[in-house]
Chains A and B, each alone.
Chain A
Amino acid sequence: MKRIICRLVTILILLAPAPLAAQTSEPRYVVFIHTGPRPADDPAIRQIAGILVKSGFVVRAPDNDSDLIGGPGIDYFSDDALPAAKRLADLLNGLLPKFQIEGVTIKPLSPRKQSVKNPAMHLGVWLFTAPAPQISPPAARR
């Protein structure tokens, strides 16, 4: 009789509908690239961005902003995003030295959590060090 009960329970488990969670696709992170001081349409940066797309990230059109305080790095906004931020950092640290990008110093990028309220699936990439602020010489007195 025990055997019959066990078989009945097994059949019921097998007949149960599949859990919905198994049917959902994996979420994709949206990457915002900031290219300053290089222009946003730099061909080398576009190539790198294309590789990120092939690697499964969604990449928004870059802008030429610079992080004047924090410098280069990868911003993430939720603890859950840390593995993705690490993966992105590893990918970029491997790619950036291979491309000859003029006029910038390439430093290793590392993830850093930001307290700014942004969507958890967004990642911000600040590629290069901001240029030193130019101080204009005082005007010559006549």
Chain B
Amino acid sequence: MPQWKSLVAGAVAFVVVVIAGYAAVRWLTPEPGVIISNSVPSLEAEWNNTISRLGIDPVYPPEEDLAVGDLLAIVVSDEEDANETKNNKLDKTSPILRRSVKLAHIDLREQLGKAYAMLTMFLPPESTQPAPKSGPAQNDASSAHLTGLRVFTNDMPKSRLPQAAFPSLIIQADNNATFGTSVAGWGMAKFGASNRGFEELRLTDVRTYGLPSIRAMEALSKYCSDEKTKDDCLESTARKHLERIVGPRINNVYLDENGVNRFGVTIEVVLVNRVYLTNQILHVRRSGTAQGGGARAAKPSSEQSAPAKPPEPPTASGVGERADIDAVKKRLNDVEAQLAKTSLGGALAFESESGSEIVLKETFDRPIAIGIRTVRYDFPKDGGPKTAATP
């Protein structure tokens, strides 16, 4: 009787360990989509984070319709504490296109031309050949192309714009787990899973142009002081236009600890004084998963009296994403081979594999903005003087 008790207790312990092991493997290896969306920040968040570290406001997704001289109303912080808005918060980490509206455009082409006329430009060898004789019809832009001057007109070639180097973004997530147990040849179970998520964003031929901060602030102050245009810079105007994207809560006013009125959502009016452009974006997203397992309960045969070998630890990744998946498959094949030797009892084996790859290579005819820099207009307080300052 005591032998029966110990057998039952042993069987219960084996089942508990098997269930716990399977649950642990499943918990340690979620689906690749889940890894990308939860464990690893989204491409958008990572993009914003990386570009912000360079001191540039990221534009994601990139778009053409952003230029130096654009006057934007933007949300910079959202401290509204109402529970119903907790999942709808906006701040500096939110995409600029989701938290801004274009109020107006200030023509800064003349200032840009003056600013760049003072800079020396080093031309490639082929551009330093003497200019061919041309008639009086030759326009400013084409002659500027030959002399190296930057004239900010509609037909100025992009190659005239100053170059900028940008880092590639690579987001990678790997995890694999294996579990195995055996009870002196009476039963054994083994589960394994491997997942990999990979995402890359690469920008080539990045260009930039812009106005120095002081010149941009002068232009902004002049615009916001002009009788015809000063209303464009009012906080009330900005809030009115942002209400379309944020909702009526943009006007909610709260009290702080000193009993002073504060808007729950803080906004700014800014002038875009520098733009970063690119013509080509490479976006790769790849994911793969493999999982499987086996279990058996059997009377030990004379050949199998020795305890089953403990499971091998997962191999280190790094050879390629196929390596992890193949390693899991190999381990599971070993399980299957052992199951084949079972003399009397039952066995179960399962295996599954899936994967996907998305490659997006986009080349644009005209450059699109991927990041901006701005100068901020300080809203007048108590009818005081209006000033502009950098953020």
Which residues of A come within 8 Å of B, CB atoms? 1-2, 4-5, 8-9, 12, 15, 17, 27-28, 30, 43, 45-50, 53-54, 58-62, 119, 121
- CA separation between A9 and B257, bound complex, in Å? 50
- Interchain CB contact (< 8 A) of A59 among B12, B13, B255: B255
Judged by DSSP, the binding face of A is helix
**Contact A5–B254 (Cβ < 8 Å):** no
5 A-B pairs closest in CB distance: A46-B259, A61-B253, A1-B9, A50-B259, A58-B81
**Contact B83–A46 (Cβ < 8 Å):** no
- CA separation between A49 and B8, bound complex, in Å? 67
* CB-defined contacts of B83 to chain A, threshold 8 Å: 27-28, 119, 121
Interface bin, chain B: 20 to 34
* CB-defined contacts of B248 to chain A, threshold 8 Å: none
27 A-B pairs, CB-CB below 8 angstroms? A1-B9, A1-B13, A5-B12, A5-B13, A8-B13, A8-B16, A15-B24, A45-B259, A46-B255, A46-B258, A47-B259, A48-B259, A49-B255, A50-B255, A50-B256, A50-B257, A50-B259, A53-B255, A53-B256, A54-B257, A58-B81, A59-B254, A59-B255, A61-B253, A61-B254, A119-B82, A121-B84
Given A1-B13, A53-B259, A61-B255, 10 other A-B contacts at CB below 8 A? A1-B6, A4-B9, A8-B17, A12-B20, A48-B259, A50-B255, A50-B258, A53-B257, A61-B253, A121-B84
Chain A CB within 8 A of B315 CB = no
Please encode chain B, from 32 to 74, with 1 for each CB lying within 8 Å of some chain A CB and 0 for all others. Answer: 0000000000000000000000000000000000000000000
* CB-defined contacts of B259 to chain A, threshold 8 Å: 43, 45-50, 53
Please encode chain B, from 227 to 265, with 1 for each CB lying within 8 Å of some chain A CB and 0 for all others. Answer: 000000000000000000000000011111111110000
- CA separation between A53 and B20, bound complex, in Å? 48
- CA separation between A17 and B9, bound complex, in Å? 27
- CA separation between A120 and B266, bound complex, in Å? 26
Q: How far is the CB of B4 from chain A (nearest CB, A)?
A: 12
Q: How far is the CB of B26 from chain A (nearest CB, A)?
A: 13
Instruction: Given A1-B6, A27-B83, A121-B82, decide whether A60 and B12 contact each other with a Cβ distance below 8 A.
Output: no
- CA separation between A9 and B84, bound complex, in Å? 40
Q: How far is the CB of B334 from chain A (nearest CB, A)?
A: 26
* CB-defined contacts of B12 to chain A, threshold 8 Å: 5
**Chain A: which residue is nearest B6 at the CB level?**
A1
Chain A CB within 8 A of B157 CB = no
Within 8 A of A (CB), among B294-333: none
**Contact A60–B16 (Cβ < 8 Å):** no
Instruction: Given A119-B84, A121-B83, decide whether A60 and B253 contact each other with a Cβ distance below 8 A.
Output: yes
Q: How far is the CB of A11 from chain B (nearest CB, A)?
A: 9
Please encode chain B, from 255 to 282, with 1 for each CB lying within 8 Å of some chain A CB and 0 for all others. Answer: 1111111000000000000000000000
- CA separation between A50 and B257, bound complex, in Å? 4
* CB-defined contacts of B20 to chain A, threshold 8 Å: 8, 12
**Chain B: which residue is nearest A58 at the CB level?**
B81
**Contact A5–B9 (Cβ < 8 Å):** yes
- Interchain CB contact (< 8 A) of A60 among B5, B9, B24, B254: B254
* CB-defined contacts of A15 to chain B, threshold 8 Å: 24
- CA separation between A43 and B20, bound complex, in Å? 63
**Chain A: which residue is nearest B79 at the CB level?**
A58
**Contact A58–B254 (Cβ < 8 Å):** yes
Chain A CB within 8 A of B380 CB = no
Q: How far is the CB of A94 from chain B (nearest CB, A)?
A: 17
- CA separation between A58 and B27, bound complex, in Å? 39
- CA separation between A92 and B261, bound complex, in Å? 20
Q: How far is the CB of A56 from chain B (nearest CB, A)?
A: 10
- CA separation between A103 and B16, bound complex, in Å? 74
**Contact B81–A5 (Cβ < 8 Å):** no
Chain A CB within 8 A of B345 CB = no
* CB-defined contacts of B17 to chain A, threshold 8 Å: 8
* CB-defined contacts of B258 to chain A, threshold 8 Å: 46, 50
* CB-defined contacts of A49 to chain B, threshold 8 Å: 255, 259
**Chain A: which residue is nearest B256 at the CB level?**
A53
